[in-house]
Structure 1
C-alpha cells in the first residue's frame, strides 16, 4: 500500500472538518511570519521564553534547557517577523530525577559538559521590549538567577494575565489552548513550547464589535500595560492558610508569607476580604504597585 500524498491528506482533513462529529488537529510548523500585510507602526520586539529545570525550587534547582525566540509585532499585535529559535542546554552538575527525564526526554548524558552561552542569551533577551512566558512566575526567577543582567526587563505571562474563559477557551495549559486553536505539538521541551506559544499569541480571535479580528497577543499587551498590585499577606494568622490558598495566594517559603497579584479593579475588594476574613483587625497586608518590570520576580 502506497502512502497517500500530502494533497490527499489535506483533502481528507477538510472532509473531516466539514462534519460536526470530527475535529482535526494539525502539527505546528515553523513559519517566518503570521501576517504579511502592511504592519501598523510602531513595531516592537517580543521574545518567547521557556525553561526546563531540575525541579520546582527557584533557589536550589537549575535550568537544564533554555529556549528563546525573537519576533516582531505591530501596534495591533500581529506577528510580522520571526527570528530563529535558540536553544541552550546546561549541565546542572547533579543527577537528574528520573521523573524529569520522563517529562523532558533529557538525560544526564544529553547535558554533560553543556552550558548556556551567557553572552548570546543575554543579547537576545535584552533586545526585547517584552519577554513572554506561559508561566512567567516559574520561568522568570530561574532566568533572573542564571542571567542576572536581565533582572530588570519587562515580562508578561500568557497563562495568568488573560481571561481565557472570556476569550472563548477552556483551561489555561499551553497544550490545551493550542489544541483548541486546532494544533498539536510535542510538549515539555523548551523549543517546542516557545513555538507553540508564538503560534498561540499570533492566533486571531473575532471581535464581537465587528471592527476586525484581534490577536491573542494584542489582548496580552493590553493586559500587561494595566497597573496591578502585589499583596503580601504578612503576619497572616496560621489558621487563614486554607482560605488564602483557596483565593490563589502563593506561599513564599523564604520570606514566610502568602502573596498574590491583583489587577487595579480588584484591589479594593481584595483588601476588604483580607481585613474581614484573614486579619480581623489584627494586622494588615503590605501592598506594592507592580509594572511589567516587577511582575513575576522572586521576592
Structure 2
C-alpha cells in the first residue's frame, strides 16, 4: 500500500468523498498561495502568529517557541500569497514543567542556548495590517511583552471573533475546525498551528466569501471591555459561568462584548452581580487595543 502513487490515492479519496457514509481528511501541506484568480481591490498583509510558552501566566511565564507567517489577501479576504514560516525557539532559563513537554513536545535540551531573532520577528510583524491568532487573548500579551516594539498593532482572534455556529461549524478548537474543512495536521507545534490557521482563514463559505473576510468584518467593529470592579465575592461563580476571566494583577473579573450585546450584558450585571450597589467599568476597544493587557 505504501507504494501507491499520489494520483491513485487522490482518486481513492475522491471516490470515498463521493459516498455519504465517508468523510476524507487530507494532510495540510505548505503552499505558496490559496487563491489563484484575479485579486479584487487593494492587497493587504496579514501575519499569522502562534506561541508555545512555559505556562499560562502572562506576567511571569515566557515564550519558548514563536511562529509567524506572513500572507497577502485581497479586498474579498482571499489569500493570494503565503510567505515562508519563521519559527524560533527560546531558552527560558528554567526547566520546563513536564506537562509543557508533554503538550508541546519541546524539551529543555531543545531550547538550550536558543533565542528569538528579534529584528527579524519585529520586521515581519511590523509589516502587518492585521495580526491573527487563534487565541489572541493568550498570544498577544506574550508577544507584546517579548517584542514591545510591535505593541499597538491591530490584532484579530479567529477563535473569539468568528461566529462559528452561524457559519455551520461545531466548536472553536483549531484542529476541530480544520477537520470540518477536510484537513488534518499534527497540532501543538507552533509552525503547524499557523499553517492550519492560514488554511482555515482561506476556507470558502457557501456565499463565496471566506472565513478571513468574516473575521475582518467582525474585527472592524468595536468591542467593549467590561471590568466587573468591586463585584461581590459571592458573585464569582456566576461571573465565571458566564465566561468572565479573572485578572490576577488588577483583581477583577472581566469580559468583552460587541456593541449589540453591551446593553444586555450590563443589565445582567446589574441584576445578578451588583443588585443596585455598583456599576462595572466599560471601555471601548478597537483591534489596536483588543486582547492586550
TM-score after normalising by structure 1: 0.97
d(CA) in 2 for partners of 1:194, 1:152: 21
CA RMSD across the alignment:
0.8
1:214 counterpart SS class:
coil
d(CA) in 1 for partners of 2:168, 2:148: 37
Cα deviation, residue 14, structure 1 = 1.1
The answer to whether residue 154 in structure 2 is matched with residue 154 in structure 1 is yes
Deviations 1:112-160 (A, max 9, x none): 0000011110111010000000000000000011001111111000000
d(CA) in 1 for partners of 2:166, 2:11: 33
Note the 1:76-155 alignment, pairs <5 A. 76-155=76-155
**2:61 corresponds to:** 61
d(CA) in 2 for partners of 1:230, 1:288: 5
d(CA) in 2 for partners of 1:76, 1:9: 33
**2:3 corresponds to:** 3
> Alignment partner for residue 289 of structure 1, among 274, 284, 287?
284
**2:256 corresponds to:** 261
What are the ranges of 5 or more consecutive residues in structure 2 without an aligned counterpart?
none
Count of matched residue pairs: 293
TM-score after normalising by structure 2: 0.99
**2:73 corresponds to:** 73
d(CA) in 2 for partners of 1:146, 1:160: 23
Runs of 4+ in structure 1 deviating by more than 2 angstroms, as ranges, are none
The answer to whether residue 46 in structure 2 is matched with residue 51 in structure 1 is no
> Alignment partner for residue 238 of structure 1, among 233, 240, 248?
233
d(CA) in 2 for partners of 1:121, 1:58: 19
d(CA) in 1 for partners of 2:209, 2:48: 19
Cα deviation, residue 99, structure 1 = 1.2
2:263 counterpart SS class:
helix
2:224 counterpart SS class:
strand
d(CA) in 1 for partners of 2:124, 2:163: 29
**2:220 corresponds to:** 225
**1:181 corresponds to:** 181
What are the ranges of 5 or more consecutive residues in structure 1 without an aligned counterpart?
208-212
1:24 counterpart SS class:
coil
Change beyond 3 A, Cα 1:275–1:6: same
Cα deviation, residue 2, structure 1 = 6.5
Deviations 1:155-196 (A, max 9, x none): 000000011000000000000000000000000000000000
